[in-house]
């Protein structure tokens, strides 16, 4: 054989022929590729959704299980408005915060955030009982009554940043924006130049957040420095959130806090995540089942297509062998055909799944990743899948003698 | 066992000794070939005739290493085929024989040129050389203007001519044609026979046919019945030679 061009090699020729074969019938190739695209595309989505929901559960659990809420003793159930024992600076204050930082296990504190609340009551409004919350810019927007305590997400504009520390700027909840400010459509354009008045002073609205919860969406977050300038709460604090560096140290930190802070209720929050965990867990299980089901359907489909394709072309295998093709050349040709078909299916799947992943991410609020890595995974997976699926019918076909193959009908 | 050997194998391209092919259909034993002895010389056209089920095609397939005999020896171009492994038979089919089938058996999504290039590709012939030879062969069978056409764009006669060009691709000493005119009208069939006859001037052509008239164009006619060679008939007025006379020359 003359050395040189790859196309001169019999195996390379078999590969090229195999890759051309799916296009013998364009309509049939389209139908098969479409079917494969749907199955592989949804399979990829389900796998990604399962992974994303599991990652989110893990992250959420880790976050919540290391989060400890400190509030004034006996203030539970008052929603921050005060109750039988109103929140008072003499009980729960900056002193409490300083004591937190002095507990024996303080080295395990990854983060400590203080919050101070001021009810903003306007009986003339439908959302009469709103809340103004002062916090350090950069701390999580922890709305009252949220499920996982970090659920507030910015839907327009931006959150507070360190540069806002002394500025009169505010991030408002979706409900507050609608009912107090008349902002129906939450967009950057809608809030541009909008102001609100707190404590008789104008504040620039820089962002809108949403929590999926009306109560949680009825707050105004402002920098704690500005809050103190406007409302003069003295040393008063409403809540302190402590994040422990690891789940293993939570128990020690809680014990220290309970011992050192008689003025505070120390609340760990794993129970708060249960609802979200259940929802995400159901999604994870459902998507895992769907992935298994789609995998099975995909496997059956590819094997079925390859069996049909090999059976109806068994005479062709006989002809190829009669004119001098080796078993390896015939097998390579049919495997290349399967790979081409499934490669196209994988490509179709990627085209189908990429936009659906974006929609799913938005609807489920899950980072259903669909990047180059996922696409490479789909393509290689589907090609390998097809190669495996077609191996049996192809091997059966090539093991026939040329004349046996040519005598076979379909 | 009937041993019907027509000898003079000294210059034979094909030599068969007591070849039998037995199939099983459930409990029934079908003797497709039964003790065939035969020698066929290099060059010339040999027709194999006989009623349906007489073993014509089985004989052709065994000579072409498309199938293995149940018993007996098959020697083609000096190579005993019985002992050859599958890979050896593949190499034999690639280099020593060219097949022409009744239903043409062209690869549907390849052009006429690509179909003819295919056996050369399996034989490792370089791309440029393949193309050059395929062009020449298609020109020889009168299809120089149809190189890029797919089989479905060609008439039956044209498809069979492509198949003949394909059979000649690796320049084999033996062409085996199984009912090559079975799917063609009589005029086209005549043309195909003339082409095969011309090819037989340079190599051996073995043709299985039902058409007595076309068989008469061959240099020699082998009559099969019930898997046995019942007559070996040099055509064109040559004297008919019964095969059961030992020592008769059977070379074409």
Whether the full predicted model's pTM is greater than 0.80, yes or no, is no
Digit-coded pLDDT (tens) for B9-45? 456 899 999 999 998 888 888 899 999 999 998 889 9
Looking at beta carbons, which residues of chain B come within 8 Å of A318? Answer: 105
pLDDT band of A15, cuts 50, 70, 90: confident
The shortest C-alpha distance from A8 to chain B (Å) reads: 5
Digit-coded pLDDT (tens) for B47-74? 999 998 899 999 999 999 999 999 999 9
pLDDT band of B248, cuts 50, 70, 90: very low
Mean pLDDT in residue range A365-389: 74
SS3 content of chain A, % helix, strand, coil (to 5): 55, 15, 25
Distance, CA of A189 to chain centre: 27
Interface predicted TM-score (ipTM) of this complex, two decimals: 0.87
Whether the Cβ atoms of residue B111 and residue B153 lie closer than 8 Å to each other: no
The shortest C-alpha distance from B122 to chain A (Å) reads: 5
Cα separation, A204 vs B210, whole angstroms: 100
pLDDT band of B235, cuts 50, 70, 90: low
Cα separation, B10 vs B243, whole angstroms: 18
Lowest mean pLDDT among A107-116, A364-373, B47-56, B85-94: A364-373
Q: What is the pLDDT of residue B242?
A: 47
Residue B126 to residue A8, Cβ atoms within 8 A: yes
Q: What is the pLDDT of residue A60?
A: 67
The shortest C-alpha distance from A26 to chain B (Å) reads: 12
Mean pLDDT in residue range A336-340: 85
**Alpha-helical regions (H) of B35-125:** 56-63, 86-95, 112-122
What's the DSSP call for residue A118?
E
Digit-coded pLDDT (tens) for B164-191? 999 999 999 999 999 998 888 888 888 8
C-alpha dihedral (A157, A277, A73, A98), degrees to nearest 10: -60
Q: Say if residue A300's pLDDT is above 50.
A: yes
Q: Say if residue A70's pLDDT is above 50.
A: yes
Looking at beta carbons, which residues of chain B come within 8 Å of A4? Answer: 126
Query: Residue A175, Cβ neighbours under 10 Å: how many?
Result: 21
Mean pLDDT in residue range A308-330: 86
Of all residues in chain A, the one with the smallest CA distance to B98 is A323
Q: Say if residue A100's pLDDT is above 50.
A: yes
Percent of chain B surpassing pLDDT 90: 65
Q: Which helix (H) or strand (E) holds B231?
A: strand B228-233
Chosen for mutation from A313, A323, A407 (greatest number of chain B CBs closer than 10 Å) is: A323
Q: Say if residue B118's pLDDT is above 80.
A: yes
Digit-coded pLDDT (tens) for A122-137? 888 877 888 999 999 9
In sequence order, the 6+-apart residues with CB closer than 8 A to the CB of A86 are: none
Digit-coded pLDDT (tens) for A146-181? 544 556 889 889 999 999 998 999 999 999 999 888
The domain ranges of chain A are 10-59+277-407, 66-271
Mean pLDDT in residue range A223-245: 89
pLDDT band of A79, cuts 50, 70, 90: low
Q: Say if residue A84's pLDDT is above 70.
A: no
Of all residues in chain B, the one with the smallest CA distance to A321 is B90
């Amino acid at each position: 054989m003359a050395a040189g061009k790859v196309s001169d090699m019999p195996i390379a020729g078999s590969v090229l022929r195999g890759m051309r074969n799916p296009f013998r019938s364009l309509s049939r190739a389209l139908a098969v590729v479409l079917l494969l695209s749907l199955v592989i595309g949804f399979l990829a989505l389900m796998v990604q959704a399962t992974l994303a929901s599991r990652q989110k559960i893990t992250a959420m659990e880790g976050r919540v299980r290391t989060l400890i809420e400190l509030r004034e003793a006996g203030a539970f159930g008052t929603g921050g408005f005060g109750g039988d024992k109103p929140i008072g600076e003499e009980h729960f204050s900056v002193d409490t915060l300083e004591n937190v930082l002095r507990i024996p296990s303080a080295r395990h504190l990854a983060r400590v955030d203080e919050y101070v609340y001021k009810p903003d009551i306007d009986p003339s409004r439908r959302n009469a009982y709103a809340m103004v919350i002062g916090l350090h810019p950069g701390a999580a927007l922890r709305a009252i009554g949220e499920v996982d305590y970090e659920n507030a997400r910015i839907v327009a504009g931006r959150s507070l940043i360190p540069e806002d520390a002394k500025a009169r700027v505010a991030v408002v909840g979706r409900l507050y924006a609608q009912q107090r400010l008349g902002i129906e459509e939450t967009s950057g354009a809608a809030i541009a130049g909008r102001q609100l008045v707190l404590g008789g002073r104008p504040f620039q609205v820089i962002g809108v957040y949403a929590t999926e919860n009306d109560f949680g969406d009825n707050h105004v977050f402002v920098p704690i420095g500005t809050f103190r300038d406007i409302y003069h709460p003295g040393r008063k604090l409403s809540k302190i959130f402590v994040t422990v560096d690891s789940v293993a140290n939570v128990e020690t930190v809680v014990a220290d806090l309970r011992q050192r802070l008689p003025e505070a209720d120390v609340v760990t929050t794993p129970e708060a995540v249960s609802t979200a965990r259940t929802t995400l867990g159901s999604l994870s299980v459902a998507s895992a089942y769907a992935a298994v089901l789609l995998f099975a359907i995909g496997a059956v489909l590819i094997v079925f297509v390859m069996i049909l394709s090999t059976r109806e072309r068994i005479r062709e295998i006989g002809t190829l062998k009669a004119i001098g093709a080796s078993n390896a050349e015939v097998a390579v040709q049919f495997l290349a055909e399967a790979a081409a078909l499934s490669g196209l299916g994988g490509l179709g799947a990627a085209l189908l799944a990429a936009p659906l992943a974006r929609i799913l991410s938005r609807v489920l609020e899950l980072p259903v990743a669909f990047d180059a890595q996922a696409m490479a995974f789909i393509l290689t997976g589907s090609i390998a899948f097809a190669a495996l699926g077609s191996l049996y019918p192809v091997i059966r076909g090539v093991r026939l003698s040329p004349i046996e193959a040519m005598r076979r009908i379909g | 066992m009937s041993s019907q050997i027509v000898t003079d194998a000294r210059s034979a391209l094909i030599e068969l000794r007591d070849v039998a092919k037995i199939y099983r259909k459930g409990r029934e034993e079908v003797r497709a070939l039964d003790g065939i002895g035969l020698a066929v010389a290099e060059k010339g056209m040999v027709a194999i005739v006989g009623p349906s089920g007489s073993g014509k095609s089985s004989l052709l397939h065994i000579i072409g290493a498309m199938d293995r005999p149940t018993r007996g020896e098959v020697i083609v171009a000096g190579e005993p085929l019985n002992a050859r492994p599958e890979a050896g038979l593949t190499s034999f089919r690639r280099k020593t024989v060219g097949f022409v089938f009744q239903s043409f058996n062209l690869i549907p999504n390849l052009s006429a040129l690509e179909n003819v290039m295919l056996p050369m590709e399996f034989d490792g012939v370089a791309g440029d050389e393949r193309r050059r030879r395929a062009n020449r062969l298609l020109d020889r069978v009168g299809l120089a203007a149809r190189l890029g056409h797919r089989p479905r764009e060609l008439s039956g006669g044209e498809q069979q001519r492509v198949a003949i060009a394909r059979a000649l691709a690796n320049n084999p000493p033996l062409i085996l044609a199984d009912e090559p005119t079975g799917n063609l009208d009589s005029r086209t069939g005549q043309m195909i026979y003339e082409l095969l006859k011309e090819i037989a001037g340079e190599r051996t052509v073995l043709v299985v046919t039902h058409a007595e008239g076309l068989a008469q164009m061959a240099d020699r006619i082998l009559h099969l019945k019930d898997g046995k060679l019942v007559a070996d008939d040099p055509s064109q007025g040559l004297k008919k030679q019964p095969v059961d006379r030992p020592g008769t020359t059977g070379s074409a």
